[in-house]
Amino acid sequence: MWPTPQSIEVNTVTKKTRLSPTLLLLSADEALTGLVRGVVRRPWKLVRLGADKFMTREMLAQPNVRLVIVDDQTVEENDRGWMLVQIRKHFSGIPLLYVAGRQSDANEKQARTNGAQYYVSKPLSVERFGQVVRSFLQAQQVDGPTTHPAAEKSEMNAGKSSAGNATHIDAGIRRLSVELNREDSELRSRVLDAALAGLRLARNPELPELKRDAARIWTAIEPILSHHLDAEENQLLPWLERQGDLSPEAARKVRAYHDRLRTLIDAMANAGADRLTDAQACEVGRALSGLAVNLDDAIDDEERRLFPTIRKALFEVDHRS
């Protein structure tokens, strides 16, 4: 029996929907869902799953997942680590954003140990969290790497050659290097403002306008910087080390900059709080100015040694092919 025009149209729409990049939100929080829904735009598709016994099965069956947001109030505390392990196992290589019901250092450590690339606790700043989600969506654009759940992998052609996979990875690194260059330019343009805002706040922590100014600048910097560090650590540096083009000394220096920046990022945890004590505001100010100085040095180092190394490695890849 020949298919009708209507069935052809339905099949085409279904196929396009399956191929749309998916943001998987695991949450029963209507406010959080509304916030995320307000950020997601085509071609992205939002899939939201609540807390029920079939959630894990549905979660692992989702095709073309590019970003996962986990609300830890969705699952029991004892099951959170297990769920994060399942997400990293079945959706490897994609960003994971973790939303905690309450702030806890132990909770944050568990989340980051289990692969969370971004951590935030409720109550959320709508503007700040929206910027973070938009930044990750932009970084995972349709031409970025595609991740298939385990059920879908079993249906894919097992005969793909390692050379084909390598070509796909090299193309992803090429796109990533362009993106990281763009992020360096964006971050560089904000370094001076961050340094000045931090110094002013450290000297006059009692002034509300200086607290707001520091929070505004940090809100603009944080999602870009977080993605930048994660992308370099999880994708770029391992690729360069596999290519044999990155010296151990250069790798150590890049990671040392990353460690210092992450320490300062942790110190900025209270930057967006509504009520900062003068002591907290002073600490935020010092952290922001210190972060600006270290970020400027890190960008200089990337431009001097990391990006030339990337260009050289990609040139050698092109020459071999």
Q: What Cα–Cα distance (Å) separates residue 169 from each residue in 103, 165, 174, 213, 258?
A: 37, 6, 9, 41, 23
| CB count in 10 Å sphere of residue 311 | 12
User: What percent of the chain has pLDDT above 70?
Assistant: 80
Q: What region does 244 belong to: left with phi over 0, alpha with psi -120 to 50, or beta?
A: left
Give the pLDDT confidence of 115-163 residue by residue, as tens digits.
Answer: 787 888 898 888 888 888 887 887 765 444 444 444 444 444 444 444 4
Q: Does domain 5-153 have CATH number 3.40.50.2300?
A: yes
- pLDDT at position 185: 85
Flag whether pLDDT at 16 surpasses 80. Answer: no
DSSP string, 182-211: HHHHHHHHHHHHHHHHHHHHHH-TT-HHHH
Average pLDDT over residues 157-176: 59
> What stretch of H or E contains 4?
none
Average pLDDT over residues 192-196: 91
* 321 vs 177 pLDDT, higher one: 177
* 185 vs 144 pLDDT, higher one: 185
- pLDDT at position 274: 61
Distance CA 101, CA 165 (A): 39
Q: What Cα–Cα distance (Å) separates residue 145 from each residue in 95, 179, 269?
A: 11, 13, 31
Q: What region does 68 belong to: left with phi over 0, alpha with psi -120 to 50, or beta?
A: beta
- pLDDT at position 26: 92
162-320 in CATH: which number?
1.20.120.520
> What stretch of H or E contains 81?
helix 80-90
* 187 vs 165 pLDDT, higher one: 187
Distance CA 19, CA 45 (A): 10
Distance CA 246, CA 162 (A): 22
Flag whether pLDDT at 102 surpasses 50. Answer: yes
Query: How confident is the prediction for the chain on average, in pLDDT?
Result: 79
Is residue 92 exposed (0-12), middle (13-18) or buried (19+ Cβ within 10 Å)?
exposed
Flag whether pLDDT at 14 surpasses 80. Answer: no
Give the pLDDT confidence of 33-62 residue by residue, as tens digits.
Answer: 999 999 998 889 999 987 655 566 777 778
Flag whether pLDDT at 317 surpasses 70. Answer: yes
Task: Return the domain boundaries, the chain.
Answer: 5-153, 162-320
Residues in Cβ contact with 7 at an 8 Å cutoff, skipping those fewer than 6 apart: none
* 84 vs 3 pLDDT, higher one: 84
Amino acid at 75: V
